[in-house]
Each structure stands twice: as structure tokens, then as C-alpha cells.
Amino acid sequence: MSVGLLAWVALAIAIASFAQSLAGFGFALLCVPIMTVFVAPHDAVIISTAIGCFSTTTQAYVDRANTDWVFAKRMIMASFLGMPIGLAVFVSVPETILRFTLGIVVIVAAFALWRGFGLTGKSNRIDWVLGALSGALSTSLSTNGPPIVFIMQARQIQPNTFRATINTIFSAAGIASLGLFIAAGKVDNGSFSGILVALPVLAVSVSIGYRLRKHVHGDRFRTLVLGLLMLSGASAIVAALTH
């Protein structure tokens, strides 16, 4: 990978990791589209997965005191249950239809949250349903975030707990995905060099994000999360219409 491409990778990682350190999610949402402007999709996905894994695991560990472990374990188990379903959908339904449908649903869900939709009941059924959906999306579209973001926002989970818990959930999925890539021999010299360049950039960007977290709370945090959720839906629709 050339010096110019490595510099572009570093820029993509800087933007994505900074946003993710503030909101708790959105790394792959921002990283992959920016990176693939000049970098091959294969390398972009591998680098994003590896750096995202480092990012979420590190933040999950640092913020572990704020993690809702009961909720995190429930969502992780539910997502594992949904993964085989997503794989079946992946091999039988066109990706364009999946992405377009996902985009519409995510935008409608984000709008509902913006209008004040919330969950106050104690039933865990919706957690299991959306957790399984997250797992299904992970194996069908590599996009597992929206259902988890929706349920956590609907339950009005506080920012510190939101970030710590969602990073714990994403960390489990990221470690599993990275392990599969390594086992399949998908990490080549190009993607490995990108990972090495991205690691120090990740450290600096996350450090800056942590310093600014105290200014992102309440309505600011909610606006940031819902804005990224809207962006996630829009990017899925654009991807469906352009591929």
C-alpha cells in the first residue's frame, strides 16, 4: 500500500474513531465509506474490522465500571442466535433489497425516537428480538449497530452506560469477526500495513474524544446518536441504489 493510501487510511480512522469515542458507535459507518474512496473494499473492510475491534475492546475495558453487564450479555447471546438466520438470508435474498429495506426501517426508527418514542416496560422480549436482528444483520450485511442503538435509546440509557455497554457488545462481535478473517487468511500485507499505520492514529483520536465527552451529554448526546442513526439508514439506501 502506497504512502498516499496509508495517509488516507489514517484520515478515515481519525474521523471514524473520534466520532465513535463520542457516540459509542458509528466507526464502520464512517470508516468504510471514507476509506473505499481510494482503498480497495477488501482492505477497507479488514482494516476497519481490526481497528474497530481494538477501539471497542479498549473502550469497553476502560469504561467497564459503567457497563450494564446484564443487558450486554443478553444482547450478545441474542445476536449469536440471530447470526445463522442472517446467513440464510444472505444466501437467498439479494443484497440490494436487504440494504434498501434496512435503510428505510432505520430512518423510520430514528424518526420515531426523535419524536419521543420510548420503552418503559420491564419485559426483555424486545431486547431478545432486536438482539437477534442485530446478529442477523451482522452476518447478512455486516451492519449490526442500528437495532442495538435503537433499543438503548428507546430505554433512555444514560450516555456513559450507553457507550460502555454498546462497546462491550460490539467488542464481542468484532473479536469473532476478526478471528474469522485471520483463520480464512484474509489479512494480507496491504491490510496489515494499514492496520499498523492506523493504530497510533486510533490512540490519538480516541484520547481527544474522551477529553471532549464531558461536553457531549443530554440533548447533545441524543442529537449525535440520532444523527448517526439517520446517516446509517441513508448510507444503506445509497449503497442499495448505487450497487
The predicted pLDDT at position 58 comes to 93
Please give the span between the terminal C-alpha atoms of the chain, in angstroms, as a whole number: 25
pLDDT at residue 81 is higher than 70 = yes
**Per-domain residue ranges of the chain:** 3-242
What pTM did the predictor assign? 0.84
Q: What is the mean pLDDT of residues 184-201?
A: 86
Query: How many angstroms separate the Cα of 62 from the Cα of each of 58, 59, 189?
Result: 6, 5, 30
C-alpha dihedral sign at 183, 189, 191, 194: positive
Which range, 21-35, 143-157, 202-216, is most confident?
Answer: 202-216
CB 111 within 8 A of CB 121: no
179 phi, psi to nearest 5 deg: -60, -40
CB 28 within 8 A of CB 48: yes
Query: What is the share, in percent, of the chain residues with pLDDT greater than 90?
Result: 37
- pLDDT higher at 61 or 2: 61
